[in-house]
Amino acid sequence: MPLVNMSTILKHADENGYGVGAFNTLSIDAVKGAIRAAEELNSPIILQLAQVQLKQSPLELLGPAMIEAARNSKVPVAVHFDHGEDLDHIRQALEIGFSSVMFDGASLSLEENIRISIEAKRLADMYDATCEAELGRVGGSEDGNEAIAMMSTDVDAVRRFVESTNIDALAVAIGNAHGPYLDKPNLQFSRLAEIDNATSVPLVLHGGSGISKDDFRKTIKIGIQKINVATAIQQQIVGDVVDMVVNLDNKLTYTVMYDLIENAVYKSVKEHLITFMSNCRL
């Protein structure tokens, strides 16, 4: 399958009642593990990289590898630049070949968020790419370094924002948070339903790690079409590496660790794809 526009995947998900997993893959072994899981389950998938992660995974180095992996996949794959903080990086991702980008203006005023989201959407359209934005503010932070408070997405603001920007997908804040949850997630399903009724734009759930299987499926039923997962993958990798170090002792090698990371990502992605009900959909 060729690299695809994210809107193509989300449209199919909406028509067939499942959610699309969007997984932060910060290395080539992670990319390989994620696509292996998607191919085995015959599931569409989104690979993504957030701007805050570029120190560890430079866009100009990992981006082309993600795109080439998508082009050679047996299933539809979109490659998404997540939580873009400025138009320069968004433009760079599009020039590399990303089929989707996000401008994160959640910390800005509504007027400023609208203004820059319009520009991000204009750039994405030039490359036939999808543009995602965020309204309200998801708690936590993408790299786990900040304890950002969650601010629920306002329904009236959704109507104004979507009408003004013509955005392709909208991330919403309904009690979700980036990073590990300190307490059991308390998602605002009624607010999600109100938002879904207010717009036909595909809705995105950030901070997917730690939400229960039942709650994931409830959000999909109400209107979520894209679900971001990052922390769960990183926790799976760390846990498997620790177990390997304890059990292998002097048999530990770099190639063994490389394969283990790929397999850890494969396991985590596979579990989430089944939870999101996207398996065997193609």
Active site (catalytic) residues:
82
Identify which of 118, 117, 186 has the alpha carbon closest to the alpha carbon of residue 150: 186
Length of the chain: 282
Burial class (CB in 10 A: 0-12, 13-18, 19+), 190: exposed
| CA–CA gap between residue 43 and residue 32 (Å, rounded) | 15
Please enumerate in sequence order all residues whose Cβ is within 8 A of that of 72, keeping only pairs 6 or more positions apart, or say none: none
| CA–CA gap between residue 234 and residue 121 (Å, rounded) | 30
- Nearest-Å Rg of the Cα atoms of the chain is 18
Identify which of 270, 272, 276 has the alpha carbon closest to the alpha carbon of residue 41: 270
Token couple for 268: 């985590």
